[in-house]
Amino acid sequence: MPSFDDRNMIPRGLERCSPRGFALRIAPWLLLFAFGAYSIYLCLRYGLNQTNMDNRFAFGLWIFLDLTVIALGAGAFFTGFLLYLMKWKALKSVINSAVIIGFVCYSGAMVALAVDVGQPARAWFTFWHPNVHSMLTEVTFCITCYLTVLAVEYIPILLKHRKLKQIPSFLVFEFELHRIIPVLAAVGTLLSFFHQGSLGGLYGVLRGRPFAYREGFAIWPSTFFLFILSAIAAGPSFILLTTKLAEKLSNKPLVRGGVYEMLGKTSGVLLTVYVALKSVDTLIWLNRTSPAAGFTPWEFYTFKPFGTWILFTEIVLLGMIPALLLLSARLRAKPVVLTCAAILACCGVALNRFVLTIQTLALPTLPFDEFLSYFPSWQEFGVFAAVLAYGVLVYAFSFRYLPLFPDEKQLTAPVEVEELEYVSRN
């Protein structure tokens, strides 16, 4: 029986595992995706009674997933901003990977949102009958436009496929697309700033939810700005982690060492600013905003398991500590410390989205309200798994058949040790 051979589809000069090894690696993710697809079918076929959400606990695991992956996907637009607009040329080695990660995060979030809304065939209603008084309308328009921008940015990477490069018209099209990539990067940055901020603003304007309500500047609550800052702080860390994971799994260097330190330093500086402003915002909420609404703020932390530990973990353990680690050049130069700090930074932004989504809805807002508990159903976990598996599969196929890392060929070429050290230093 002839075996499948895809060597003529792999970029020239790059080494990849055998087709059998690749199939074994993606098999668990295909099974997970099949399980998730079945969960999606159940939710769309029978409705949201397949979930543990109800009219009072309307935001659950899927909205938490949406907010988290959109924040982590911010590495795409921010890397493009630094490379094409700020001229940080070293980031060219990770821009293709960043675009694919951004595309996966945003398209995955859209899938989860479509299942959550429950009527994907009527999604066009949002655009034809927009509620101009809702921040969700602005979020929907910006995310849709930015996902389109990411899809256009993905096309030149796809056209680098070994087979597609043999078609002259595709080469011309790829060249023309490259000429407008800086414009797309600028548009993507503008769109991302607004929808990241508006996602935070959605919670900050909830006067009926004093745990989430925040004062702010003009019409924007403080959460508008904190969401932007936290996303652009965690985005470079997520790009760093995914690149390191790809290096670990492929067992080869993909980018030059200085790129990691650049991503880590960028994340550290932005995370420091975010933690400082988050701390000020929390102090204002504790001493003025919450008492003015008639609530003693510490009452919100008497409902288990949401004690004060969660506030300490979010600001100190997953905010201040990784910021200090990433700011120190000496500590940042140690790969283990750099990786651990990046993991903490990404966990911090995920915990922030969890607090605003799950803890906010669980807490009572009226004297006769009860503390609500929520645990996702297996169908909700199934949709979560489908989005995760989808992201892994898209990235795995892209890594195998597309030249994601421009420096890979040079770094893995059989050169003398002295020459490799010189390339890494420069």
Q: Where are the domains of the chain?
A: 27-407
Please state, in angstroms and rounded to a whole number, the distance separating the CA atoms of residues 67 and 64.
5
pLDDT in the model for residue 198: 84
Q: Cβ distance 387 to 36 under 8 Å?
A: yes
> The tokens of 270 are what?
């932005």
What sign has the CA pseudo-torsion 91, 94, 99, 104?
Answer: negative
- What phi, psi does 317 have (nearest 5°)? -65, -40
CATH of 27-407 among 1.20.1630.10, 1.20.1070.10, 3.40.630.30, 1.10.580.10 = 1.20.1630.10
Positions in the chain short of pLDDT 50: 417
Please state, in angstroms and rounded to a whole number, the distance separating the CA atoms of residues 50 and 40.
10
Please state, in angstroms and rounded to a whole number, the distance separating the CA atoms of residues 41 and 44.
5
Please state, in angstroms and rounded to a whole number, the distance separating the CA atoms of residues 312 and 308.
6
pLDDT in the model for residue 399: 94
Interval 252-297: pLDDT, tens: 889 987 899 999 999 999 999 999 999 999 999 999 999 988 888 8
- The reply to whether the predicted model has a pTM over 0.85 is yes
CA dihedral 144, 146, 147, 148 (to 10 degrees): 90
- What phi, psi does 213 have (nearest 5°)? -65, 135
> The tokens of 208 are what?
């009926």
